[in-house]
Structure 1
Amino acid sequence: MLTFDPEGMSAAQRQGDACVVCHKRWPRPRVRVGRFPDDMTALACADCAEALLPAPLATVVAFPAR
């Protein structure tokens, strides 16, 4: 979980009404990407969240069929 510094962010970003990365307000950001030092949730739009969050590790490995 990432921790974001609220310094320099707008009130909309801190309150979850705008993406913490790109400031986009519509559609409203829905992906939880981290938190602020006061334990408030940091939200991002789907595009920015994809770039911020690491890709899940594959748990199933396919072997070639013989």
Structure 2
Amino acid sequence: MLTFDPDGLSCAQLDGDACVVCHKRWPRPRVRVGRFPDDAPVMACADCADALIPAPMATVVAFPSR
């Protein structure tokens, strides 16, 4: 989980009403991408969340056949 520094963010971003990256307010950010030092959630829009959250690694690994 990423920890974000709240300095320099707007009130809307701090409250989760605007994306932490692009400031977009509509539609309201729905993806939790991290937290602030006080454990408050950090929200982002779907587009920015894709860039912030790494894709999960595959749990199934194919072994080469002989």
**Is the shorter-chain TM-score for this pair beyond 0.5, marking a shared fold?**
yes
CA drift at 1:59: 1.3
Identity among equivalent positions (%) equals 81
The residue number in structure 2 matching 1:42 is: 42
Runs of 4+ in 1 over 3 A off after TM superposition: 61-64
Task: Please report the TM-score for the alignment, with normalisation by the length of structure 2.
Answer: 0.89
**Alpha-carbon distance in structure 1 between the residues aligned to 2:56 and 2:38:** 27
Q: For each residue in 1:10-58, what CA deviation from the matched residue of structure 2 results, as whole angstroms up to 9, or x when unmatched?
A: 0000000000010000000000000001110000000000000011111
Aligned length in residues: 64
**Alpha-carbon distance in structure 1 between the residues aligned to 2:18 and 2:29:** 6
The reply on whether 1:11 has 2:18 as its aligned counterpart is no
Task: Please report the TM-score for the alignment, with normalisation by the length of structure 1.
Answer: 0.89
**Alpha-carbon distance in structure 1 between the residues aligned to 2:6 and 2:41:** 11
**Alpha-carbon distance in structure 1 between the residues aligned to 2:51 and 2:33:** 10
The residue number in structure 2 matching 1:2 is: 2
Where structure 2 has 5 or more consecutive residues not aligned to the other structure, the ranges are: none
Where structure 1 has 5 or more consecutive residues not aligned to the other structure, the ranges are: none
Root mean square deviation, CA, Å: 1.3
